[in-house]
Amino acid sequence: MPRDKQFDVDEALDRALETFWAQGYEATSMDDLLKQMEINRGSFYDTFKSKHDVLIDSLKRYDREYRRADLRASAEKHGPRGAILTLFKSMAEGNRGPHGRHGCFLVNTALELAPRDEQVAKIVRAGFRDTEKFFASLLEQGQSSGEISNDLNPQETARALMCQLLGLMVLVRSGTGKSVLRSAANLAEELLT
């Protein structure tokens, strides 16, 4: 008969996510992971199976709890144009919560593992496509309300915005100075004119 878990699985997964986000997958040893997750090796393998499985669960959790939530919150607080620009400005200013200095976990993991890990690449590509669709939807809403020029092609502009945001996230992770980050964020406004 299986024993009840002696730890909160979601809390352990959140701690794993934070560890991978801060250190990266390759740089996180199993000992680091177990220590940060505050579980023993047996409980880890009974629950998660492998370090890679925990990474995959962490990426999915990040996508749901951070990326999608950030996009949704921005859209709810601002009009279409404001929602787009707020995302860029908050990324450049480091106003992304306690993990802001780490950049985007999806982007970081894409750079580290996607070229050789199809499971990671699939999650990352889905997140990027969803972000692009989010931008396209906001652009279409903004065009309908007159807030954004009808001269823009929503799909092409959404793709350009997504690429610009990804580049900005890489700059954040690399510790680039605020003036460069602000310049990169300001390009988003230029794309909307």
Confidence of residue 5 (pLDDT cuts 50, 70, 90): low
For residue 99, pLDDT over 80 is answered with no
Burial grade of 68 (CB within 10 A; 0-12, 13-18, 19 or more): middle
Encode pLDDT of 8-31 as tens digits. Answer: 999 999 999 999 999 999 999 999
- Return the CATH fold of 60-191: Tetracycline Repressor; domain 2 (1.10.357)
pLDDT at 2: 47
CA distance 90 to 83: 11
Judge whether 87 and 165 are in contact, CB under 8 Å.
yes
For residue 1, pLDDT over 70 is answered with no
Encode pLDDT of 116-161 as tens digits. Answer: 999 999 999 999 999 999 999 999 999 999 999 999 999 999 999 9
Encode pLDDT of 157-183 as tens digits. Answer: 999 999 999 999 999 888 889 899 999
Mean pLDDT, range 94-103, rounded to an integer: 63
**Could you please report the per-residue DSSP string of 75-114?**
HHHS-HHHHHHHHHHHHHHT-SGGGGGG--HHHHHHHHHG
Domain spans, the chain = 60-191
